[in-house]
Structure formats: C-alpha cells, structure tokens
Amino acid sequence: MTELPSIEELSDMLAREFESRMKAMPEVRDYSIGPLQLTAPEKPYYAQANAKVAHDGRESTVVYIAFKPGDTTGGDRTFEEGQLRMHPLMITPPHRAIDYYPQRKEPVSSALEVMLPTLTVEKTFDAITADEKRRMSHENAIIRVIRGHAPLDLLTIDDSSSILHVQASHALGGRNYVKMGDVFIGEESRPHMTIGYSRDGKRFGDPHAVTLRPQGKQMIAIAGFMAFSPEEARELRPNDPLYRRILRETVEPAENIKTR
C-alpha cells in the first residue's frame, strides 16, 4: 500500500485500535464504535466516528475525529466572521478563516474535555525498519502507521492586545514517535486536557479549536474527544474507576508554542 487508506480501511484500523485500548482498561465493562463517516465539506474535518464506553453503571461517549492537514474543529458558534484576526499562513484551503475560530463550550455541559491521541497514518519516503526498506525497494513511498499518536495543535484566543488573535497555543498528542519491534508508538500517547482548570482555578481551553497543521506530507491523524459534565468531573476523584484512570493519566497541554 503506497496511498493513504480509504475511509473503509481507516475505519477498520480505528476499530482495531479502539478495541485494543478498551481491552487494556479493566474498568471498562462494554464498548462499541461506529464506522467513520465522511464529514467534509459540511464540516471542516475529514471524518467522524462515535463510540460508547460502559463503565461503573454509566455510559460515556467518545467522539473520534479524523484530520487531514489543515483540518480544524473551529467554527462560527462563538465569534462572527471578522471578529478575530488570523495569520494567513494558518488558513489551509478549502477551509475559511472562520473555520479556525475557537468555539466556547458551556461549563454546564463540558467542565473537562480530554483528547485521546489514537492513530496517525502518513505517507513517507523515509524508510526506517527492515520491512519498510524492503517495501521501499519496490515502491517510491510507504505508508507508516503510528499508534497512540496525533500531532495536533490547540487553537485559543490571544487577548493580550485590543485586537483578538487566533493562536496555536499548545501542542497536543506529541510530535515524536519511537519504533517498538515492528510497531511505531507515539511518545506522548496519554490523554491531553483540552478544557480544564489550572492550578490557580482559572479555566483554560474555553473557547478552543483543534487543528492538524500542514507538515509537508500526506497524512491522516485520528484523535478521540471525551467531555465530562460538572457532575462527572466532581466524581473523577472518588468514585468512577475509569474516570480516575483518565484523570491520573491526563497531561495538561504541552509547553506553550504561541504562534500567530
């Protein structure tokens, strides 16, 4: 295979990765995931699948989004077109500037939100493993699959001046990956918090959007998003085992990469 997978092939890959992650969590009682459905051009990202996870007498939803370079989860729900300023290099056709506008989530519905780095598929000309070198000898490119990986950016608002700017403020999901046997694994595969509260109690990531910025290669990155209501967030500490695991493993966004 020297081209990126079809939506059906990608859906099968996501289902296997989802099942592998769920089986590694003894707190999960049952789970299911639907197929990836194409969402472009109605939404400014490639595809979406919804999963259900049953645990400790309740059911949670995980929304998986597949990004191609330039794709974004922003929109016009919070700001009108022209209210925010963007660096033109951040806008990738066919998307519009407003597609990158961060959107607010009401605390009443999303006290916390985490991003689960899941899967990256990239077309590369740089063979690393013996198998890749063998395949490269017959083809001019190879497809590399990286588990637990999604090199995304968190888009937030820079309000340090009178003119509001959209900024890529934090790296999500890590940038690097390592070879383990015949498998590539993201170095930062733990959940990343996209909405939450800092140690001083200040809410961050609201509003926000998530994007896969162009990296000079053909690729698809998939990440899951799981939101917690205030009631669920309060229960993260004492009660629900799955929530406790997620909170324990979750990292706040990586070092600030402020870029207009």
168-185 pLDDT, tens per residue? 888 888 888 988 877 899
Write phi, then psi, for 220 (nearest 5 degrees). -135, 130
Contacts for 216 with CB less than 8 Å, ≥ 6 apart: none
Q: In the chain, what percentage of residues exceed pLDDT 90?
A: 44
Contacts for 6 with CB less than 8 Å, ≥ 6 apart: none
DSSP 152-175: EEEEEEE-SSSS-EEEEEEEES-S
What are residue 156's DSSP bridge partners? 167
Question: What is the sign, positive or negative, of the torsion defined by CA atoms of 32, 212, 179, 124?
Answer: positive
Residue with tokens 């009660």: 239
What pLDDT, in 10s, does the model give residues 99-124? 999 998 765 566 788 899 999 999 98
CA 25/CA 242 separation, integer angstroms: 8
DSSP tag of 48: E
- Is the pTM value of this prediction over 0.85? yes
